[in-house]
Amino acid sequence: MILEPAQNLNVVDEADVVVVGGGPAGVSAAISAKRNGAKKVILLERYGYLGGMATGGIVVLIPHLSTGPQIEQAGMVMEWLDRLAKKPGGVIGTNKRDVGSNNPELIESWRNYFSLVWANVICYGAYADPEMLKIVLNEMVEEAGVDVYLHSWGCRALVEEGTVKGVVFESKEGRQVILGKIVIDCTGDGDIFASAGADFDLDPDKSIRNGMMALVYRIGNVDFETFAKYKAENPKEWGKNVEKLQEIAGFKSLPFPTPRNDVMWVNNWIPNRDCLKVKDLTKVEFEVRRTVLDVIEYLKKEVPGFNKDSFLHDTAPQVGTRGSRRVKGMYKVLYDDIKQLKKHSDVISAVPAIDLSVSKAAAHIPYRALVPKKINNLLVAGRSFSSDVEANNWTNLIPHCITMGEAAGAAAVLALDSNVQPRDIDVKVLQGMLKKQGVYLP
């Protein structure tokens, strides 16, 4: 044991709302807070870009935002896609006017794009270019007037008698403090609420998606249309190739489309790794890069759509993390809630059905799931919201995190304006604010 010397920390800034983590939830929370009237909003992000898994993680899929004729994940996620559509090569996806259609020609044209056809109808969703998305998110926070600190790792909450007063962060300038009237933890791993003393669950299920990690990469000089045709016409042969890819890599790996026909991304699912452990984060980086060239070489030799000139385009600068701490909130969303389609009067996000064997309609995420039970001046948004592990597995994808962040940002402003704790706001007023922002609430 080594005792670190005590030191005085400089308070470098303060704000009405401090958001820690600039991923889908954090960007949305910060913009929502500022648009709803917060005088000053600060967004802390440890990397040099915004977007988290959607950009640095190269998770280019914005999965379906509908499961029928209604677009259920609306609001800011729609703004992402609308803005991306105006950027060169920014996005490819279905058209809003076609949502819910069972037109055979439309279904055939989108069937090869995972998540854009569901239950034999057209869903609203897209594949986004991560570099274009970085630009879009920068534009959005700048237009909103959010103060952004990149390269700044929010590492712990400042707490006095159960009330959060601000955040300690590390950067090239050392260890410093930002004070905030309300702090929103959007770190994904719950780093801030855990340091504040909030209770949380940490019971990963290594057999399901959010119990696995990833390091995504992209392959260039490919032909997705040729690959998709081969895959559709030769399902048994492709199944054998999938098995071989897993054998080569040591974990499940699958190629997916991007907005470009000549670039594909390879997602993967690496079991038995803990994203709260530095050694496991390191192992994932090494495990994927150790085998990536062998995987690509096999694809080039055996799978149509890949050719002798296909190459490793890039590997994600950010390790894919899908699940860890989940705050114990005023309400815990349960897997049974999703299966039984439980309704909540304080719903702030309607998550479209992801697997029809689980549910056939949208799941409700209640506002109470964003509010820690006992810590004041603190909200949580993103995949660490209050939920059991199986419910979290189906409700922590990129658009779901965006809508939770949008709700948390608006709730923070409402709490400040009403001079009450976030747990005591008038949820009906919050829901009205969200509807004005285009959020769909059933």
- pLDDT tens digits along 184-200: 999 999 999 999 999 99
Instruction: State pLDDT tens for residues 213-249.
Output: 999 999 999 999 999 999 999 999 999 999 999 999 9
Check pLDDT > 80 for residue 356.
no
The predicted pLDDT at position 420 comes to 98
pLDDT on residue 174: 96
Q: What is the DSSP string of 366-417?
A: EGGGGSBSS-BSEEE-STTSSB-HHHHHHH-SHHHHHHHHHHHHHHHHHHHH
**Burial label, 434 (beta-carbon count in 10 A; 0-12, 13-18, 19+):** buried
Query: What CATH fold (topology level) applies to the domain 10-205+324-436?
Result: FAD/NAD(P)-binding domain (3.50.50)
Q: What are 13's two structure tokens?
A: 């800034």
Residues of the chain with CATH 3.30.70: 213-315
pLDDT at 359 (0 to 100): 87
**213-315 to CATH, choices 3.10.170, 1.10.10, 3.40.30, 3.30.70:** 3.30.70
pLDDT the model gives residue 377:
98
Single-letter code of the amino acid located at 434? L
Is 354 a residue whose pLDDT tops 90? no
In the chain, residues under CATH classification 3.50.50.60 are 10-205+324-436
Overall average pLDDT of the 349-354 stretch? 93
pLDDT in tens, 32-83: 999 999 999 999 999 999 999 999 999 999 999 998 899 999 999 999 999 9
Percent of the chain with pLDDT over 90: 96
Three-state SS for 93? Answer: strand
The pTM for the full model equals 0.97
On average, the pLDDT of the chain sits at: 97
Q: How would residue 435 be classed by pLDDT, with cut points 50, 70 and 90?
A: very high
Q: Which pLDDT score, from 0 to 100, does residue 162 have?
A: 96
Provide the pLDDT for residue 29.
Answer: 99
Chain mean position to CA 352: 15
